[in-house]
Amino acid sequence: MKPYSLRRRLLLWLFLATALLGLIALLDTWREALRTAQSVSDRVLVGSALAIAERVTVDETGELEVDLPYSSLEMLTSTAQDKVFYRVDGPIGHFLTGYDDLAVNPAPTGGVAFADGMHGTVGIRSATLMREVSTGARSIAFSVTVAESTRARAELARAILLRSALRLAVLILGVACIVWIAVTLALRPLDRLGATIAERSPDDLRPVTADTPQEVEALVLAINSFMKRLDTVLEALRHFTGNASHQLRTPLAVVRTQLALIDRSATPAQTTAATDKAKTALERAERVLAQLLVLARVDAATGAAALQRVNIVAVAKDLTAEMVPLALSHRIDLGYEGATEATALAEPVLLAELLKNLLTNAIAYAGVGAVVTVRVQRLGDAVVLEVEDNGPGLTPEQTERAVLRKRGTNAPARALSADQETGFGLGLAITAEIAALFDAEIQLQRGAERRGLLVRVKFPPLA
């Protein structure tokens, strides 16, 4: 999709909006100009009619006579190059003088009536004035009609409209220039933001701290949030790659060694022994690969796990019962003790995976005849999940090397490297990853009577 110019789009919208408002303003100006021109012309028409009416008198025979003052017509002709028409009528439509084909508008006595019409092929505006003249014995009514063509008022209205349009065009151009400059200056922070990001190396995922206006702050926050998520995904990929190479190297080397021994075996017993060792190494590689896939799935869920209220006791009891046959096959006493109900924020499937890893490790390495106990208890507002065994446990060096990643840091959850053959540390790394999703705290310590291993997962209090 071809990118568009924000500057051009703003100018286009501004031009369209200003043009629309300008058109409305011009229409209103046109109407106002017509009213103004008509009002001025009407006053001149009335003044001319009054001047004529004042020269209407009664002669000796009692008839009306008109001594037409030419100044009254000059009052009209001096304002514009318009044609002027007039007529004076006596009582009962008796025509006295002027243009007899000029229409007379009905008007009340002492009043004025205006009308628009045609005189021949010329458009006119006329005013009819009704007056009375007294003979001493009676009053004689008469009317004076004065008209002029409308060219002058139309030209006046057009002149007003043209001047208004020119002012508006200058205003639009001035505003467009100002907006062009303002948008250019306003977009400079975006240019600086782009330059700041472009100058970074691909592995530099630190938050962007460019100086940006408030309106761009949401974009900066979105970029920083994306970079944080991307950093989490890349860290998970590096973590998965490191664990895969670390955990799969040993069993694959064993398989390669045993295959070489099979080729050089002199007796069937040696071949069988080498085959069994290769099979065991392959089984271990299969278990490690399964755990790595779980670890990758957990890493992918970082920041996206939908936490909900989970009954920790129910999950612990169900999984303990499910693992009893495996414990019996290793001649280990597995059981549950503690609270009857406890709720914490977690994701049910991942919580079960966490506990399963702890139980699998305990059953595999506690030793024959050991006792493994799953326990859920409350410590204040927090809920604690514990898996304790009375087996050999971890040495202080192994415990010290067990670096458990806390949520919100970039340090990887490294597996215990002391026991390459068991893969115990990888299960603990998975446990640490899942606990980090729940904001839970993991503690490794000696069990009761300083024997075995106690793994404690402390969930945060419910809000």
Instruction: Give the domain CATH number at 241.
Output: 1.10.287
Question: 424 and 294 in one domain?
Answer: no
| Average pLDDT score over residue span 121-129 | 89
For 150-196, what is each residue's pLDDT tens digit?
Answer: 887 778 778 888 888 888 888 888 887 887 888 888 878 888 888 88
pLDDT at 247: 65
Question: 366 and 265 in one domain?
Answer: no
Number of CB atoms found within 10 A of residue 134's CB: 9
Whole-number Å distance between alpha carbons of 456 and 196:
45
Residue 205 lies in a domain: no
Percentage with pLDDT > 90 across the chain: 17
pLDDT at 292: 67
pLDDT at 432: 84
For residue 66, the cross-strand partners are 56
Write the CB contacts of 455 (distance below 8 Å, at least 6 apart in sequence). 358, 386, 387, 388, 428, 431, 442, 443, 444
pLDDT at 94: 85
pLDDT at 403: 46
What value does the mean pLDDT of the chain take? 80
For residue 384, the cross-strand partners are 377, 458
Residue type, 461: P
Tell me which of 143, 158, 173 is where a domain ends.
158
Going by their DSSP bridges, the two strands 64-66 and 56-58 should be labelled as: antiparallel
Question: 439 and 311 in one domain?
Answer: yes
The 3-state secondary structure of 79-148 reads CCCCCEEEEEECHHHCEEEECCCCCCCCCCCCCEEEEEEEECCEEEEEEEEEEEEECCCCEEEEEEEEEE
Question: 285 and 241 in one domain?
Answer: yes
Range of the domain at 135: 6-158
Question: 326 and 457 in one domain?
Answer: yes
CB 256 within 8 A of CB 274: no
Q: Is 197 left (phi over 0), alpha (psi -120 to 50) or beta?
A: alpha
Question: 109 and 139 in one domain?
Answer: yes
Whole-number Å distance between alpha carbons of 105 and 114:
7
Question: 251 and 310 in one domain?
Answer: no
Q: Is 408 left (phi over 0), alpha (psi -120 to 50) or beta?
A: left
Residue 189 lies in a domain: no
pLDDT at 445: 87
Tell me which of 136, 158, 180 is where a domain ends.
158
| Average pLDDT score over residue span 127-148 | 87
Residue 192 lies in a domain: no
DSSP 410: -
CB 41 within 8 A of CB 152: yes
Question: 78 and 101 in one domain?
Answer: yes
DSSP 251: H
**pLDDT higher than 60, residue 417:** no
**pLDDT higher than 80, residue 454:** yes
**Residue whose tokens read 């590096």:** 238
| Average pLDDT score over residue span 293-319 | 76
Q: How confident is the model at residue 415 (pLDDT cuts 50, 70, 90)?
A: very low
Q: Is 291 left (phi over 0), alpha (psi -120 to 50) or beta?
A: alpha
For 242-281, what is each residue's pLDDT tens digit?
Answer: 766 666 777 778 788 888 888 888 788 888 888 888 888 7
Question: 112 and 65 in one domain?
Answer: yes
Residue 426 lies in a domain: yes
Q: CA dist 239 to 94, 230, 235, 413, Å? A: 115, 14, 6, 8
For 424-446, what is each residue's pLDDT tens digit?
Answer: 456 677 788 888 888 899 888 88
**Residue whose tokens read 């597996």:** 415
The 8 Å CB, 24+ separation contacts for 298-304 are 298/350, 298/353, 298/430, 298/433, 298/434, 298/437, 299/235, 299/236, 299/237, 299/239, 299/240, 299/433, 300/233, 300/236, 301/347, 301/350, 301/437, 302/232, 302/236, 302/433, 302/436, 302/437, 303/229, 303/232
For 320-346, what is each residue's pLDDT tens digit?
Answer: 999 999 999 999 999 999 988 999 999
CB 152 within 8 A of CB 142: no
Q: Please report, for the domain that includes residue 425, its CATH number.
A: 3.30.565.10
For 79-103, what is each residue's pLDDT tens digit?
Answer: 446 788 889 998 877 888 888 888 8
Residue 273 lies in a domain: yes
pLDDT at 371: 93
Angle at the Cα of 124 (from 120 to 126), degrees rounded to 5? 120
For 201-238, what is each residue's pLDDT tens digit?
Answer: 877 888 887 777 777 788 888 888 888 888 877 776 77
Write the CB contacts of 462 (distance below 8 Å, at least 6 apart in sequence). 309, 343, 344, 345, 381
Tell me which of 158, 187, 207 is where a domain ends.
158
Segment holding 384, helix H or strand E: strand 382-389
**pLDDT higher than 90, residue 316:** yes
The two three-digit tokens of residue 321, written as one number: 């019962």
Question: 281 and 320 in one domain?
Answer: no
**pLDDT higher than 90, residue 458:** yes
